[in-house]
Structure 1
Amino acid sequence: MSNEIPLFEIPWDENDVANAVDSITRGSYWANGPYIDEFERGLESYLGVDHAVTVNSGTTALVAALTAHGIDEGDEVIVPAFTFIATANAVRLVGADPVFADIERETYGLDPDDVATKVTDDTAAILPIHPYGAACDIGPLAEIAAEADVPLIEDAAEAFGADYEGRTLGTIGDSAALSFCQNKVLPTGEGGAVVTDDDDLARRLEQFRSHGRASDEYFSSSGSGEYVDVGTNVRMPDLIASIGCAQLEKVEDHIANRRRVASQLSDGLAGFDGVEPHTAAGRGRHVYQLYTVTLGEDIDRDAVIETLADREIASKVYWEPGVHLTESYRDAYDYEPGTVPVTEEIAGRVLSLPIHPDLRGDEIDRIVTAVGAGLERGR
């Protein structure tokens, strides 16, 4: 029996399997079946939105949202550099330019004060993320977007079920992108969705995901369909949606268990100097898609990582370097260190530890003990 503690494990049960078997053995409508409609209705009900349009990944959800909002060549979109690279890549994929703003120290989300300085006549949207499962300071960001008369598009890939001052994330902006990748709070393996209350935006999203087709009845119609815009094929398969339906039924239990595990980890780490767990800064519910700590400036992070690895415990840095200092962005935009100083500092100190809903007490104790030993080794 393996003694390894992986960074995450996917929680599944017989309902996930039963739904998948049902979708497969139907023998038809694998690309566009009844579980798609059920999953979209379930997302709409859970989040309290009018429309959820599923697609094949969280990255595609970002691209679809930007496209539906009319963002294209010559536009600028304000984004964080402290994020998975997909956030910025999606902007480039629609032909626009990402403009990097710095992060705040409380939640590591976009700093509204810095965002305000980056708004220009070319700004076409503001695209914040909610890091690690907690809200950025999205209230002031929404005010900045409204004043600039540009859409606020939430990258809520890591924050399904989290909230900001009682408001569910994904419902505050003009639209939001969700991800159901295998390590997310609501996992389906891959998959994503865009959620919105805007009827026209939802219609454009539905057309974009199916080649610009005006109707979703292609597979049950005798006609070739009416094509009203340029689109592509980024549909979610029915099989993936079937798993999403099963996962959605238990997502609140998973979130409660993630929060329990995170609390136990934080209680254990409280006795050590030089390690600070990421929090929601009192702004709302943290769902802990990742359990991330920030190490003291005097701690050698590599020593902590090596200590964990020696004890068969996974860890990972999310994210270093900032997107602006990756090769692709340095080559395209000539970014240099110092562009977003808080981002660059924090990126050098964060470390994500294992978390999933079924992490056992003895495993939590092992993680805490190993972190403590790593801190001593790296001090």
Structure 2
Amino acid sequence: MTLEANPIPLFKIDWDQSDISNAIESITRGSYWAKGPFVSEFESNLENVLNVKHALVVNSGTTALVAALKALEIGRGDEVIVPSFTFIATANAVRLVGAEPVFADIEADTYGLDPDHVRSQITDKTAAILPVHCYGTSCRIDKLCEIADKHNLYLLEDAAEALGAEYRGQKLGTFGDIGVLSFCQNKIVATGEGGAVITDDDDIAQRIRLYRSHGRVSENYFESASSGQYADVGTNIRMGDLPAAIGCSQLDRLPDLITGRQRVASQYTEKFENLEGVHPHTPMREATHVHQLYTIELGNTVNRSNVIETLADRNISSKVYWDPAVHGTSYYKESKETIPNLPVTEETSQQVLSLPMHPNLSSCEITRVVNAVKDAIQ
């Protein structure tokens, strides 16, 4: 089949003149590119949006996870309960600090950790629970917090895909001891690469500050004649001023970015209504959905490969998040003594498909995507 003229990509970054103006201001300042005023402004704005005491930006969502685990002093000999239905960074971060990820199954409706299975995975070595808010909406975070409190465990929220989403009126990422965000190019707020750790705990925040900058006590290294004082072992995972500048302008538009995504998702869902074999991912009644991804779950009788091929033939991108799930990747299959039994994770992984999503997707483009899916399954 001949490709249609105009491609529909999986995502487009929403940018405007404010992003350019901030970037120019950062660049033309001619200094403070590593630790500049936009870094402090971005952190302060995140704290205001999320109503938290501390937002500490770093250079990726992955390093934010590592820094968060380090700040909780989780390491060798510890276990952290994680979903396998997630981007591999969630589990990798646990390994990178020397601890062991223990995979728990997910719920069929939320795609988040199943609280009952989490309980069954707790051992004397369990140090933390690390849930993921999948695709832009909440997992069963209230139940997971109760489990963590009962067993005296840390709760670290991976809210990389859910900036601005809420559960019962509270922002995701702010329920546990510590939360993590991502600003990768396809996220709600995009800085190219970037991440943040959010917490209300002063001690945890100070450990993050030290770890992200070589354990250096002062953050004004380039403003002092001193070589600095170093209180701990750390690394360099700081966010530069230029991505923070873009983050500031992007964050200013967060309500509009979310509204645009919700508009697109609403049109998709309306057009898929009553289409047998297609089930859009929807939030719990108490939760909002910011639709970092728009994902459908295909029925058992639908050939997902055929849907992907039909979309591609019509110049429409799609992507599977995630198949295989993390426990099925080569590294984790080879490094684990036993393969975990995660039936819901495996079934869901084989049925999900993410469609093009960005705030400015047009009604005509949405119709093209929906029609291609319909043609592929009928």
TM band (smaller chain): over 0.9
Distance apart, 1:322 and its partner CA: 1.2
Identity percentage of aligned residues = 59
Alignment-derived partner of residue 365 in structure 2: 363
Distance apart, 1:14 and its partner CA: 0.5
Structure 2 counterpart of 1:300, from 281, 289, 303: 303
Structure 2 counterpart of 1:144, from 143, 147, 159: 147
CA separation of 1:247 and 1:149: change in aligned 2, threshold 3 A: same
Amino acid at match of 1:156: A
Q: Which runs of 4+ in 1 moved over 4 A?
A: none
Distance apart, 1:335 and its partner CA: 4.1
* 1:351 and 2:371 aligned: no
Distance apart, 1:43 and its partner CA: 0.1
State which drifts further: 326-335 or 303-312: 326-335
SS at match of 1:115: helix
CA contact (8 A) 1:329 1:335 kept: no
Amino acid at match of 1:371: V
* 1:201 and 2:213 aligned: no
Distance apart, 1:231 and its partner CA: 0.2
CA contact (8 A) 1:58 1:157 kept: yes
Q: Distance in 2 between matches of 1:342 and 1:98?
A: 18
Q: Deviations over 1:173-214 (max 9, x none)?
A: 111010000000011110000000000000000000000011
Distance apart, 1:364 and its partner CA: 0.6
Question: After the TM superposition, which residues 53-72 of structure 1 pair with which residues of structure 2 at under 5 Å, given as runs?
Answer: 53-72=56-75
Q: Distance in 2 between matches of 1:19 and 1:139?
A: 38
Amino acid at match of 2:115: P
Amino acid at match of 2:118: V
| Structure 2 residues without counterparts, runs of 5 or longer | none
SS at match of 2:263: helix
Q: Distance in 1 between matches of 2:325 and 2:359?
A: 29
* 1:272 and 2:266 aligned: no
CA contact (8 A) 1:58 1:193 kept: yes
CA contact (8 A) 1:325 1:335 kept: no
Alignment-derived partner of residue 110 in structure 1: 113
Alignment-derived partner of residue 285 in structure 2: 282
Alignment-derived partner of residue 98 in structure 1: 101
- TM-score normalised by L of structure 1: 0.98
Question: After the TM superposition, which residues 184-195 of structure 1 pair with which residues of structure 2 at under 5 Å, given as runs?
Answer: 184-195=187-198
CA RMSD of aligned residues (A): 0.9
CA separation of 1:14 and 1:8: change in aligned 2, threshold 3 A: same
CA contact (8 A) 1:53 1:206 kept: yes
Q: Distance in 1 between matches of 2:245 and 2:78?
A: 37
Q: Deviations over 1:318-351 (max 9, x none)?
A: 0011101111001111343x62110000000000
SS at match of 2:98: coil
* 1:17 and 2:20 aligned: yes
CA contact (8 A) 1:181 1:191 kept: yes
Structure 2 counterpart of 1:320, from 319, 323, 342: 323
State which drifts further: 57-66 or 280-289: 280-289
Alignment-derived partner of residue 334 in structure 1: 337
Q: Distance in 1 between matches of 2:294 and 2:47?
A: 27
Q: Distance in 1 between matches of 2:35 and 2:338?
A: 43
The alignment covers a number of residue pairs equal to 375
Alignment-derived partner of residue 211 in structure 1: 214
Alignment-derived partner of residue 185 in structure 2: 182
Q: Deviations over 1:117-154 (max 9, x none)?
A: 11111001100000000000000000111111111000
Distance apart, 1:283 and its partner CA: 2.6
Distance apart, 1:215 and its partner CA: 1.3
Q: Distance in 1 between matches of 2:205 and 2:338?
A: 36
Q: Deviations over 1:269-313 (max 9, x none)?
A: 113100000011213110000000000011110000011111111
* 1:38 and 2:41 aligned: yes
CA contact (8 A) 1:324 1:335 kept: no
Alignment-derived partner of residue 230 in structure 1: 233
Q: Deviations over 1:152-182 (max 9, x none)?
A: 0000000000011111101101110100000
Q: Distance in 1 between matches of 2:216 and 2:300?
A: 54
| Structure 1 residues without counterparts, runs of 5 or longer | none
Alignment-derived partner of residue 257 in structure 1: 260
SS at match of 1:152: strand
Amino acid at match of 1:373: D
SS at match of 1:100: strand
Amino acid at match of 2:326: V
Alignment-derived partner of residue 247 in structure 1: 250
Structure 1 counterpart of 2:86, from 83, 98, 109: 83
- TM-score normalised by L of structure 2: 0.98
SS at match of 1:182: coil
Q: Deviations over 1:211-248 (max 9, x none)?
A: 00111011111111110100000000000000000001
